[in-house]
Amino acid sequence: MCGIVGILGRKPVSGQLVEALKRLEYRGYDSAGVATVENGELGRRRAEGKLQNLEARLADEPLMGRIGIGHTRWATHGAPTETNAHPHMTKRVSVVHNGIIENFNQLGSELKSAGVELSTDTDTELIAHMVTRELDAGHDPAVAVQHALRRLEGAFAVAFIFKGHDNLMIAARQGSPLAIGFGDGEMYLGSDAIALAPFTDTITYLEDGDWAVMTREGVAIRDREGMAVERPVQKSVASALMVDKGNHRHFMAKEIHEQPEVVGHTLAHFIDFANERVHIPDLSIDFASLNRISISACGTAYYAGLIAKYWFEKLARLPVEIDVASEFRYREIPMERNGLALFISQSGETADTLAALRYCREQGQNIASIVNVRESSIARDSDLVLPTLAGPEIGVASTKAFTCQLAVLACLAIAAGRARGTLSEETEVELVGALSEVPRHMSAILREVGAYDALAHTLAKAGDVLYLGRGVNYPVALEGALKLKEISYIHAEGYAAGELKHGPIALIDEAVPVVVVAPRDGMFEKIVSNLQEAAARGGQIVFLSDAEESAAGCDLMTAIKLPAVHTFTAPLVYALPMQLIAYHTAVFMGTDVDQPRNLAKSVTVE
Ligand code: AGP
């Protein structure tokens, strides 16, 4: 993920900016840069590769400005070159950006039509030009930024400095986090509190939609409607090593709310947004030669694999053999040599998954893995590693890693379909478009979490909870049940909704909540019939859908309205309600949300 820093200092800031960027290295990057205002003029230094390259550049060509911004870039739009490195700038403004501007094609066309010459392949450069045009129209910097922000769609965090202003920095947050730090006659800005740890432990976090006007004397924060707002100022416990909880009570809450940002970054690593095509770096798999894929994982990662089974079989007409690793490793599955075995693991250290991998290696399989820890055992034993860019996941209950796994698998299934000639270019563009909207849909859900609080009071009293889903959302129901039971300790089961009448319906009475994953897709009418069967027996229906409540055709205990999403991306988006139901119920019940009883973050023993 990219990292942003900013300092309004009392002495030259370029060295401090680099120090702050070093604390964001854990996020991963491939280029970096800083910009300052010196004697009213904007100055910039950038370098490909690691921060020491930027430090060398600054040693050769120092910047002496006392106000500046810095950035570590994980390439999304445009190759990891110095030209594409941030900060981007025009004569009047410099900007750093973390996130994805979904409508950048449209904005780019508008700017080119207005005669603007673009010099990079990035979406960020467009933002600099948009603010400059507002400044050229006579608006002051705050109004210029506000007008430009209103045009941007997607999940992003941005920070600006301006020619002629050595005591003004403007920042904005839409999905990707931003922290503001308070110093003695100085002010700071960072993607998280870790970046600010060397300068201050007094911080505040911008909320989604906030934008901030900063001077050395303080900060004025406004919400998306432009109303002045106060955000809590707190003592940060971040250190150079610790990952910080941000504004949240639990790591799990922070990680749930990071999903728009980290899913966006993971998608950007596997999608060429400019051409709306999937691009898997170093893809060494010849999908056309495969007769089958084997997938093995545990827990939540296994459910990601189950969802991918639907995608590979539908998009690439490629049969998938999948099993939990603890079974897979002992089944002695007959395997055609030179087949593909895919392993999914957040930690990359799960013993059963590693053992299943080694079984497949012995069976002459090509090994690919999707991991969140690049230097993990599973990654080291793989021929191909496809990274999730979720950043450190501290909560035992997996959340952002799961949706990032789905992001990688969705791109892989598209690549497989294209390689096997079963997916048209038109369909690929449609599916990539749907994926690019996922961060925005996630942000929308995360802005409306009140309903989950109310629902928690009811679920907390339940002895059994059923989760129902159909098709590609059946594994989403399984994941929802796992989330609830592992952090609230309430027994829950996920079921294919069509299976209800083959047994589970015997469980249902007025004491049993039934959570129904019901996006309006080709199976919607069928799952509505299933939920009506449950309601007819007293089941307390929790209806999760983009459809109106009335579409359920029966009494509902709760209806939570969700964004209308493409069938293909529903599992990524509906994962969030699954997480939020479990989180709010566990918080209400007072369990240890981040470290639930009996569980470990990584099960490194059999
Ligand atoms: C998920 O919330 C659980 N913490 C657990 O099922 C986890 O997904 C499983 O242990 C696999 O872990 P891994 O992804 O690190 O391999």
Mean pLDDT by 10 residues, the chain (606 residues): 91 96 78 96 95 96 97 78 91 93 92 94 92 97 95 90 98 87 96 85 89 97 92 72 72 95 93 90 92 97 98 98 95 92 94 94 96 86 94 92 98 97 97 95 94 95 97 98 97 97 94 97 95 95 96 95 97 98 97 85 72
- Amino acid (1-letter code) at residue 483: K
Cα 479 to ligand 1 centroid, rounded to whole Å: 11
Active site residue 2: yes
Q: Check pocket membership of 603 for ligand 1, CB cut-off 6 A.
A: yes
Place of tokens 């096997």: 420
Mutate to test the pocket of ligand 1, among 485, 599, 603, 606 (most ligand atoms within 8 A of CB): 603
Assess contact for 404 and 256: CB atoms under 8 A: no
Q: How far is CA 211 from CA 9, 42, 178, 188, 260, in A?
A: 20, 22, 10, 15, 18
Question: Looking at ligand 1, which atom is closest to the CA of residue 401?
Answer: 14
Q: Check pocket membership of 595 for ligand 1, CB cut-off 6 A.
A: no
Q: Check pocket membership of 283 for ligand 1, CB cut-off 6 A.
A: no
What is the Cα–Cα distance from 114 to 118, expressed in whole angstroms? Answer: 11
Q: Check pocket membership of 346 for ligand 1, CB cut-off 6 A.
A: yes
Question: Looking at ligand 1, which atom is closest to the CA of residue 599?
Answer: 4
The CB-side HSE value for 517 (13 A sphere, CA atoms) comes to: 34
Cα 333 to ligand 1 centroid, rounded to whole Å: 23
Residue nearest to atom 3 of ligand 1 (CA): 397
Closest residue by Cα to residue 278 from 388, 417, 97? 417
Q: Check pocket membership of 405 for ligand 1, CB cut-off 6 A.
A: no
Catalytic-labelled residue, pool 2, 298, 360, 411: 2
Q: What is the DSSP letter of 246?
A: T
Q: How far is CA 174 from CA 76, 127, 242, 264, in A?
A: 17, 14, 24, 12
Question: Looking at ligand 1, which atom is closest to the CA of residue 350?
Answer: 16
Assess contact for 75 and 49: CB atoms under 8 A: no
What is the Cα–Cα distance from 13 to 573, expressed in whole angstroms? Answer: 41
Q: Are strands 293-297 and 320-324 parallel, antiparallel or unpaired?
A: parallel
Q: Check pocket membership of 546 for ligand 1, CB cut-off 6 A.
A: no
Query: Which strands sit side by side in the sheet containing 31-38, from one edge to the other?
Result: 41-48, 31-38, 67-73, 3-8, 187-190, 179-182, 202-205, 233-235
Active site residue 561: no
**In which element (H, E) is residue 293 found?**
strand 293-297
> Which pLDDT score, from 0 to 100, does residue 239 have?
53
Cα 299 to ligand 1 centroid, rounded to whole Å: 5
What is the Cα–Cα distance from 224 to 174, expressed in whole angstroms? Answer: 9
Catalytic-labelled residue, pool 50, 314, 561, 601: 601
What is the Cα–Cα distance from 554 to 532, expressed in whole angstroms? Answer: 6
Q: What is the DSSP letter of 590?
A: T
Question: Looking at ligand 1, which atom is closest to the CA of residue 300?
Answer: 8
Peptide bond into 87 cis (omega under 30): yes
Residue 31 falls in which region: left (phi positive, over 0), alpha (psi -120 to 50) or beta: beta
> Which pLDDT score, from 0 to 100, does residue 240 have?
43
Cα 346 to ligand 1 centroid, rounded to whole Å: 7
**Angle ∠(122,125,126) on CA atoms, nearest 5:** 100
Assess contact for 472 and 527: CB atoms under 8 A: no
Q: Name the phi and psi angles at 114, rounded to 5.
A: -90, 5
Q: What domains can be seen in the chain, in order of their start residue?
A: 3-242 (3.60.20.10), 244-436 (3.40.50.10490), 446-594 (3.40.50.10490)
Handedness of CA 131, 276, 1, 244 (dihedral sign): positive
> Which pLDDT score, from 0 to 100, does residue 27 have?
66
Mutate to test the pocket of ligand 1, among 350, 354, 478, 579 (most ligand atoms within 8 A of CB): 350
What is the Cα–Cα distance from 495 to 517, expressed in whole angstroms? Answer: 11
Assess contact for 309 and 296: CB atoms under 8 A: no
Cα 601 to ligand 1 centroid, rounded to whole Å: 7
Place of tokens 């994962």: 575
- Amino acid (1-letter code) at residue 437: E
- Amino acid (1-letter code) at residue 205: Y
**Residues forming beta bridges with residue 175, ordered by sequence position:** 156
Question: Looking at ligand 1, which atom is closest to the CA of residue 299?
Answer: 6
Convert 35-71 to b/e letters by CB count within 10 Å (16 or more is b): bbbbeeebbbbbbbeebeebbebbeeeebebbbbbbb
- Which residues lie below 8 Å from residue 157, measured CB to CB, with a gap of 6+? 4, 97, 98, 99, 171, 172, 173, 174, 175, 176, 177, 178, 191, 261
Question: Looking at ligand 1, which atom is closest to the CA of residue 353?
Answer: 16
Q: Are strands 218-222 and 211-215 parallel, antiparallel or unpaired?
A: antiparallel
Q: Is 377 exposed, middle or buried (0-12, 13-18, 19+ CB in 10 A)?
A: buried
Q: Is 187 exposed, middle or buried (0-12, 13-18, 19+ CB in 10 A)?
A: buried
Cα 344 to ligand 1 centroid, rounded to whole Å: 10
132-141, long-range: CB < 8 A, 24+ apart: 132/90, 132/91, 132/92, 132/93, 135/92, 135/93, 135/162, 136/92, 141/93, 141/165, 141/168, 141/170
- Quote the radius of gyration of the chain (alpha carbons, Å): 24
Q: Check pocket membership of 324 for ligand 1, CB cut-off 6 A.
A: no
Cα 106 to ligand 1 centroid, rounded to whole Å: 40
Question: Looking at ligand 1, which atom is closest to the CA of residue 398?
Answer: 2
Query: Which strands sit side by side in the sheet containing 513-517, from one edge to the other?
Result: 491-496, 464-469, 513-517, 540-545, 558-561
What is the Cα–Cα distance from 549 to 535, expressed in whole angstroms? Answer: 14
> Which pLDDT score, from 0 to 100, does residue 225 have?
86
Q: How far is CA 256 from CA 182, 264, 393, in A?
A: 27, 14, 10
Distance in angstroms between the alpha carbons of the first and the last residue of the chain: 33
Q: What is the DSSP letter of 64?
A: -
Assess contact for 350 and 602: CB atoms under 8 A: yes
Q: Check pocket membership of 256 for ligand 1, CB cut-off 6 A.
A: no
**Residues forming beta bridges with residue 370, ordered by sequence position:** 344, 386
Helix (H/G/I), strand (E/B), else coil: 159: strand
Residue 554 falls in which region: left (phi positive, over 0), alpha (psi -120 to 50) or beta: beta
Q: Check pocket membership of 398 for ligand 1, CB cut-off 6 A.
A: yes
What is the Cα–Cα distance from 580 to 256, expressed in whole angstroms? Answer: 8
